[in-house]
Structure 1
Amino acid sequence: MLLSLWDIWKGERNSERDKGREKMAATMVETPPPQLITTIEWSMMDKSKFFPLYTLSSFTVRCALYPLTLVKTQIQVQRKKEAYKGVSDAISKIYASEGMSGLYRGFWLSSMKSFVAGGCASLVGQTVIVPFDVLSQHLMVLGLVKGSPDGVKNKKVNPLGLNLEQRMSKSALAREVAVRVYRLHGPLGYYRGYAASLAAYLLRISPSWISHLFVQCVAGTLGGFTTTILTNPLDIVRARLQVEGVGSMRQVFNELWKEEGFFGLYAKGLSARLVQSACFSFSIILGYESIKRVSVSDEFRTRVRW
């Protein structure tokens, strides 16, 4: 009798233990570990870290590679090999005669050029884009106007007071929106939100990188190689026209062809340009991806995969 009671009690204990294990297993299945992040989005980053680090990274890369740009220009402008035989010969001779400052001649002007050009490009781009953006967004919210019972009368979603019951073609509707914006706000109506749009564009970093850092760096480098090789003759002509200031593109091309031949037209300064392009592409992409991971917000930091 005692043995049978013992067996019953032991069986109940074992069944309770098994139920507890099943509950634990179910809980583990229901709450999977947080998924790793392989692509860091713009919203996941701490901008106060990202902008200073990215600016410092870009400036450092430009500082390191500027001597190659200077050497490339001098080799492209020289006649045949009257001054330098190659990249290493040019660097050693410039350093011996002028010191380190000789390798950075014109550096600050070049840096200012990039800063001003980038700002002007953004300014001009947004000046063209914003009017179209204003009109397109008025057209976008027409669906919201139609879907709302009092949408036509609601000035927040239909500030132009468009009559949607009247049938119009797409081009006629776009023309009507443009006319009404002008009547309501004047020419400045096409530039409403211009400052916000410009600020967003200047601060936005929107390249679409693929997942793996090594592939990104290699792809960027190979892309730089291809572009550099194809455009080198044009770069030589540009350098000579800007320095010498005489003749036309055709005259400089003909002169180069007579002096250097096909090989000289493509190879003059090419090695310096290839090294500079490869290092620049590799360093910028590597720096950008690394800075993204360093600048990620604390809430996502444990889920970021290096």
Structure 2
Amino acid sequence: MSSTSSAAPEAPGGPPPLRSPPDKVSPAGHIVQVLGHVRLESLAAGLSGGVVSTMLLHPLDLVKLRFAVSDGLELRPKYNGIWHCMKSVWQLEGMRGLYQGVTPNIWGAGASWGLYFFFYNAIKAYISEGRQTELSATEHLVSAAQSGMLTLTLTNPIWVTKTRLVLQYSSDPSTKQYKGMCDALVKIYRHEGVAGLYRGYVPGLFGTSHGALQFMAYEELKRGYNKYNSMPSDKKLTPLEYISMAALSKIFAVSTTYPYQVVRARLQDQHNTYNGAIDVIRRTWRNEGARGFYKGVVPNVIRVTPACCITFVVYENVSRFLMGQSK
């Protein structure tokens, strides 16, 4: 008998065959394996959802940011509520004022949602490879957190420019510090360097918990709903069902993590200077109390809940359409 025959399985009841230990995979190897699961359909579907929701709801994002940084500086306009803010901006600058900063917002939201779904689905597919069981809630949470970190690293400069453009209060274009997205990017880099483009990055990393909690809740709601109705886990739901699950998951995530958005917005604001996230937290608590960390939360919930619903419905439908076309 040849020497290779010794590796053949024993007769039933005998000892199990010896197996070679699995090869160790380097971190670079893991990245290559993850990239093997990427789908451009996820990128395109997520980008579509982000762009559509941002175009429809940008004015509420502007209101949320202006409330989030309202720390009592005299140069800032004073607003009595959401509608008073929108009315004041409209009277001062018209529709253009309500869409101040929309270009980086569209770029940022489109890129963020596209990259988020792109990385998230690739990481999920990598973890699921060769498994018969569904991912647990913890695995969904970790996958979403990793996706958020990668996405934030690529998109943080866009969010800094959006914040700066939204917080230009003058109606006279000649007195504004930035003329547009590209001008803001160039000026921030020229005067503040790479550090300026990555202001708010650290609280943004904490903010990846927002997306992680949202995606975990969304996946668990879908799975629980399908299980309750004895349906396959990948069954297509109705738009109303997607909207309900997206809204519930978003409200849960916002209510849990909103204070980091206030800290991040204040770090990115050109009208005030802080010595880091801890300084923002200390000064906000001293001057405004716990309430200061929730400024702008109402317009944020009003904005992000429908934005999330629109994004997820567009994503699910565009994704299924593109995947159907690619088969």
Q: Which has the larger radius of gyration?
A: 1
* Higher RCO, 1 vs 2 (CA within 8 Å, ≥6 residues apart): 1
TM-score by length of 2: 0.44
TM-score by length of 1: 0.47
